[in-house]
Amino acid sequence: MGQHSAFSLLPIAAHHLDTVASTMDAAKEILKQPPPAGLVYVTARVQTAGRGTQGRVWQSPPGNLYMTCVVSLEALSEARLPTLPLEAGLVLHRLIVSRLPFEARPALWLKWPNDLLLQTGPVATKVAGMLIEVHRGHVLVGLGVNLAEGPEIDDGGRPAAGLAELSDALHPEKRLDIAEAFASGLAETLSPSWSTEKRRETIKAWSRITRWNEPVKLRGRSPGIPQADATVMPLQLTEQGHLEVRHADGRHETLVAEYLW
Ligand code: BTN
């Protein structure tokens, strides 16, 4: 366990583990005791039951980064929850961009609510994903970054890729540096109190980094919902950070990230 708080108001504590089922569960174990104030994060070398959004499996071999950050909702304010994935996505994007060679930087973008994609060919590959959960008055931000390799994901056939081949700064040996930088960036972003102004800035910054001409596949929604598996076009973020999309028949729908359901 280490302490790093140099540039952030929220103090940070780290737990580095070897093999866990999921860092989400390891973080929940920590929450059985009153956790220290600030941001606590857990990393693991390997996960045996890593999970992604919508109950998907997140394969977790050694060499990639697996971590979960825990922050108290009291420190955050509940009003911030809907835009939290956007804030966390911006931190992640900034961090990975800074470690990529200059020419690869424009290829990195965020897909709502919190996938990090790299567009080096006609099809964008997934290089990182986030899973956000709320548990015992805390928000858990789980992050998986493909460094050594991009394990297959059940995501409509979207390919995944590892980032290490693009830059030494994204080598698996840098895994814990990257984890620390993400935790520090998140703590720094989340430390100032929430305001309408900050919400607008977040939405604007995020909107510049996504690709509005890339269709979004809706998958795995309850069968009762019309067009549960439709492909839709993203239109804009709402004031709350939800995604407004257009269906093929012209109908608009607002998508809400699953941890807010
Ligand atoms: C997704 O894109 O589906 C989200 C993937 C989130 C994976 C990370 S790895 C660390 C943390 N522990 C988990 O079991 N999942 C998240």
Q: pLDDT tens digits for 219-257?
A: 655 555 555 568 899 999 999 899 999 999 999 999 988
pLDDT of amino acid 75: 82
d(CA 145, ligand 1 centre) in Å: 9
Cβ 162 under 6 angstroms from ligand 1: no
d(CA 130, ligand 1 centre) in Å: 5
Cβ 253 under 6 angstroms from ligand 1: no
pLDDT of amino acid 153: 74
Cβ 130 under 6 angstroms from ligand 1: yes
**What number of other Cβ atoms are within 10 A of residue 119's Cβ?**
14
Question: 162 near 147, Cβ under 8 Å?
Answer: yes
Cβ 185 under 6 angstroms from ligand 1: no
pLDDT of amino acid 171: 97
Cβ 91 under 6 angstroms from ligand 1: no
Give dist(CA 3, CA 164) in Å, integer: 27
Nearest atom (ligand 1) to Cα of 114: 2
pLDDT of amino acid 98: 98
Instruction: Report the phi/psi class of residue 90: left, alpha or beta, with left for phi > 0 and alpha for psi in -120 to 50.
Output: alpha
Q: Identify the sign of the CA torsion 55, 27, 78, 190.
A: negative
pLDDT of amino acid 2: 45
Mutate to test the pocket of ligand 1, among 54, 143, 152 (most ligand atoms within 8 A of CB): 143
Mutate to test the pocket of ligand 1, among 29, 51, 59, 258 (most ligand atoms within 8 A of CB): 51
Distant-in-sequence, close-in-space partners of 173: CB < 8 Å, separation ≥ 6: none
pLDDT of amino acid 168: 96
pLDDT by 10s per residue, the chain, length 261: 444 444 447 889 999 999 999 999 999 999 999 877 899 999 999 999 999 998 899 999 999 999 999 999 888 877 888 899 999 999 999 999 999 999 999 999 999 988 999 998 888 899 999 999 999 999 999 999 999 988 887 666 667 778 999 999 999 999 999 999 999 999 999 988 888 999 999 999 999 999 999 998 886 555 555 555 688 999 999 998 999 999 999 999 999 887 666
Atom 15 of ligand 1, nearest CA residue: 51
d(CA 214, ligand 1 centre) in Å: 23
Atom 10 of ligand 1, nearest CA residue: 66
Identify the bridge partners of residue 86 per DSSP, sorted by sequence position.
none
Nearest atom (ligand 1) to Cα of 21: 14
d(CA 84, ligand 1 centre) in Å: 16
pLDDT of amino acid 3: 47
Give the type of residue at 76: L
Cβ 47 under 6 angstroms from ligand 1: yes
Question: pTM for this structure?
Answer: 0.91
pLDDT of amino acid 7: 40
Residue 33 burial (C-beta neighbours within 10 Å; 0-12, 13-18, 19+): exposed
Cis peptide bond prior to 113, omega within 30° of 0: yes
Question: 15 near 27, Cβ under 8 Å?
Answer: no
Cβ 234 under 6 angstroms from ligand 1: no
d(CA 29, ligand 1 centre) in Å: 17
